[in-house]
Amino acid sequence: MAVQFNTQLRCHLETIARFPPKLKGLFSPYRYKVAYGGRGSGKSWSFARALIIQAAEQPLRVLCCREVQKSIKTSVHTLLSDQIQELGFGYFFTITETSIKGLNGSEFFFAGLAQHTVESIKSFESCNRCWIEEGQTVSKKSWDILIPTIRAPDSEIWVSLNPDLDTDETYKRFVLDPPPNSFVVKINYDENPWFPAVLEQERLHCQNVDPKGYENIWLGKPKTVVDGAIYADEYQTMLDEHRISIVKHDPMLKAHCVFDLGWNDSMAIIVAQRSGSECRIIHYIEESHQTLDWYSAELRKLNFNWGKMYLPHDAVTKDYKTGKSAAEIMTAMSWEVEVIPVGDVEHGIRLGRMLFPRLWMDKGSTGRLQECLKRYRRGINATTNQPGGPLHDEYSHGADAFRYLATCVDTMRNDNIKKKNYDKDIRAGNWMSY
């Protein structure tokens, strides 16, 4: 059987010539192999075929994963199985519902990264190859757990992705700033010699009806905001008008803080200054499992000209352990506190939209807040497919703080400031650079 297999394998290795030329690097030794681009480029097809060929050449343990894998049907199991049959390796690989095994001891495993911890993922330490499909969805936490786990000699991590946002962890980690010993290639439909005619029809249709989405879907260009983002247009306008730039603390203005309280969930704090109708977000803090005295100390380190601490309505609720409310604790630490009355979420969103044209944001210290605003979106009803209320997820805390800012921004005062010629000076550019 072995002799027969090796003879047949040499014939099948000629299929390498059918790989898009840009992906020939899949057969060279690299620690990281990354292919990104638009639909129809042949990335996933090529990755599956290359891994099958390599697992036939030598015994390999191959981990195939994505951020969330609800079932084996959502994995690359079917894609790999199809390539095995197309290559004529059906006699060599045994395909079950949960695994793929070769006569030489090669084995393919399938897993979702989000469900694993540092401890539970240790079972994959001996893997020789790790293929992450839909890499654009993988979180920083998952990467930080996975990469040190794939540690076998000459092990490789393969990543295929269709870019979503340019600030996604995978895109930043492997495209914008790839690590040493990386093979990184952008490939689109026009570089796939076997691009199917049926997809060409879809491509042309998309180009006609959705030119904005076309660049992302078919050309692999990252988006500015996620699809369906609540503040998508407003945020894009800020970018186009260069109002996300270098916005420094102005000691002549009071710096006010707007909180979204949290413990297990994140605590979000926006630091803003107001001059006339303009609102400038100059700093942002987001953490979890930290006490109010910790946040107070972090704010004091900034040495700003402090104004009020605006806390949400639940800040008056007393903690059952301490018997004190957040408002009382902050007041005891010598902060001037104002509690924002409870308000309707949709009204707050409308106020947020109205605030954007008046808004400037420091690009360096507010990166996380920008992510929250770019990703703040509504849930979709599974039955009606209609949008509902805003999602409560890791990005909603910063967005909630922004809603509170929009609610209270017009109450922010600079009582110690003499306004003579000041607005004229700041219009001249004395308060920012970009």
C-alpha distances (whole Å) from 122 to each of 35, 241, 249 are 26, 48, 46
CB of 42 closer than 8 Å to CB of 192: yes
Parts of the chain belonging to CATH 3.40.50.300: 2-209
The CATH superfamily label for domain 2-209 reads: P-loop containing nucleotide triphosphate hydrolases (3.40.50.300)
Q: DSSP secondary-structure letter at 430? A: T
User: What is the reported pLDDT for 420?
Assistant: 44
User: What is the reported pLDDT for 426?
Assistant: 44
User: What is the reported pLDDT for 115?
Assistant: 78
Q: Helix, strand, or coil here: 413?
A: coil
CB of 104 closer than 8 Å to CB of 68: no
Parts of the chain belonging to CATH 3.30.420.240: 232-433
CB of 308 closer than 8 Å to CB of 336: yes
User: What is the reported pLDDT for 428?
Assistant: 42
Q: How many CA atoms lie within 13 A of 391 on its CB side?
A: 16
Residue 357: Cβ within 10 Å count: 13
Structure tokens belonging to residue 257: 């803080």
In residues, how long is the chain?
434
Residue 382: Cβ within 10 Å count: 6
User: What is the reported pLDDT for 431?
Assistant: 43
Residue type, position 403, single letter: R
User: What is the reported pLDDT for 341?
Assistant: 92
**Calpha distance 34→20 (Å, rounded):** 14
Fold of 232-433: Nucleotidyltransferase; domain 5 (3.30.420)
Structure tokens belonging to residue 3: 């002799």
User: What is the reported pLDDT for 430?
Assistant: 47
**Calpha distance 130→61 (Å, rounded):** 9
Taking each helix axis as running N to C, give the angle between helix 367-375 and helix 232-240, from 0 to 180 degrees, rounded to the nearest 10.
140
**Calpha distance 150→41 (Å, rounded):** 27
**Calpha distance 315→54 (Å, rounded):** 59
User: What is the reported pLDDT for 120?
Assistant: 75
> Which one, of 229, 168, 196, 161, lies nearest residue 376 by Cα?
229
The pLDDT tens digits along the chain (434 residues) read: 444 455 555 455 545 557 888 998 999 999 999 999 999 999 999 999 999 999 999 999 999 998 988 766 667 999 999 999 988 899 999 999 888 999 999 999 998 888 777 677 777 889 999 999 999 999 988 999 999 999 999 999 999 999 999 889 999 999 999 999 999 999 999 999 999 999 999 999 999 999 889 999 999 999 988 888 999 999 999 999 999 999 999 999 999 999 999 988 899 999 999 999 999 999 999 999 999 999 999 999 999 999 999 999 999 998 877 889 999 999 999 999 999 999 999 999 999 999 999 999 999 999 999 999 999 999 887 777 788 889 998 899 999 999 999 999 999 999 765 444 444 444 444 444 33
Measured CA angle at 281 (ends 280, 287), to 5 deg: 170
